[in-house]
Structure 1
Amino acid sequence: MIEGKPVSAVVTQGKTSSDKSVLLQPDSIATIGSVVEINSNSYIMTDFKFEGINEIYPTGTLKICNSLFPIQTNETRVLLRDEFGIVVTDERGRPVYTTEIVAITTPCIVQSRYSFTSSEKQITLPDGRIEIVIKYTVSENLREGYEFEMYGENYMIANIDPTGVIDSKGILVISAERKV
């Protein structure tokens, strides 16, 4: 499934156990950043070829998601209720509203090492830092200084790299550092 829609595709193993390649049917729609479900595992499409030789059968490169990142959606206006579930009213009998922030999680790729694509060498990120790759999303909490919990530790977003986003599609690379 790509973005929750069933798709027929040929899936092959990539260079490592966490990578896969997917050969899609000609009418399939996918982009870099698409979330792909294969055998109850989530993957993020990190590369997508759909021009030239791949124009007939688009080809994508997938990397397995190893965690979930908390995304804050818009505030929702809801009726304020008391402990018995009865709607609270003001002195004129009008219902009282409150705002509620809805939080969801999105599959992400978390790594503590950075790979160079031209050579398979990896460098370790400084101690206490992680790199998170997520599908491009607009959210209030995707900003520098936002604190979140992952792997039982508290982290703070240090930087967000939007260079993998074109026309509101793609991936965001978030650099985070552990809070002491």
Structure 2
Amino acid sequence: MSTDWYLQDVRYFSGYENSEISEAFGSFDEFLAQSPETYKVFINDKLVEKTIIIQSESDYNKRRILFKKDDVLWGDLITHDNEKWLVTERPFFNKIHSKSKMALCTNVLSFEVDGEREIVGWTDFNQPIYSDEPNIVTIEFPCVVEDASDLKSNNEEEVNLPNGDMALIISYTDSEQITEDREFSMFNQTYRISGIDKSKTKDSLGVLKLVVKRVQSN
């Protein structure tokens, strides 16, 4: 069975569309079961496995993926071969299977914040007594890193950014850590979030592109 068949747009013009689509669903299940490009992956660190097709692209850090409808969502993090991959394109369902693209997360955006202190006892009035020791919690966002040369504006013109600046692509989040002017460390340098592009998000799905600037040391 030809792999290329699954990459074509599906068009039906007769009165037997439902029958044809039903048969095509079965064919895709067969393809998933037999293809050498089939992999078992985990989505967003959940313990339930999903079966998807992963195909190479000219860019080694990017892959095309085929999967059953709603098995993978826009902005999901896929664990494949012990690496994190970010679903960067909104999935398209062609009435047989969904397809999208994913990119390798080459770094992790992390912040250390104060977490809840440990409860070490209770008062006579049943109120908690908290430890005096601070509880530092690390919040992590696996990210795709793009340097300034990869950035383009909405009209496909190159964006001029100072040397050392870059963009980070992360899963959609409403975390209070992802705000403009927030500083963080990466590559042994300090960076500041200077812009947040939400154009590739919808209904709390998708990806955020963070434009980050290197903070010059005094």
**TM-score (norm: length of structure 2):** 0.66
Q: How many residue pairs end up in the alignment? A: 170
Are positions 1:103 and 2:145 aligned together? no
SS of 1:48's equivalent?
coil
Larger strand percent: 1
What is the letter of the counterpart of residue 22 of structure 1?
I
Contact 2:153 2:159 in 1 (8 A): no
141 and 117 in structure 1: CA distance in 2 versus 1, 3 angstrom threshold: closer
SS of 1:8's equivalent?
strand
Larger helix percent: 2
CA distance in 2, matches of 1:168, 1:101: 28
Q: How much does 1:30 deviate?
A: 1.9
5+ residue gaps, structure 1:
80-86
* Runs ≥4 residues deviating over 6 A: 120-124
Give aligned-pair identity as a percent: 24
Instruction: Tell me which residue corresponds to 2:200.
Output: 164
CA distance in 1, matches of 2:135, 2:112: 11
130 and 106 in structure 1: CA distance in 2 versus 1, 3 angstrom threshold: same
CA distance in 2, matches of 1:93, 1:123: 59
Instruction: Tell me which residue corresponds to 1:39.
Output: 81
SS of 2:73's equivalent?
coil
Contact 1:157 1:175 in 2 (8 A): yes
SS of 1:175's equivalent?
strand
Of the two, which has the highest radius of gyration? Answer: 2
Map Cα deviations across residues 108-165 of structure 1 (whole Å, 9 max, x no partner). Answer: 01111325599x9976742131100000112221111111000110111111111211
Let me know the Cα RMSD of the aligned residues: 3.2
What is the letter of the counterpart of residue 67 of structure 1?
N
| 1:130-149 aligned within 5 A | 130-149=166-185
| 1:8-47 aligned within 5 A | 8-26=51-69, 28-47=70-89
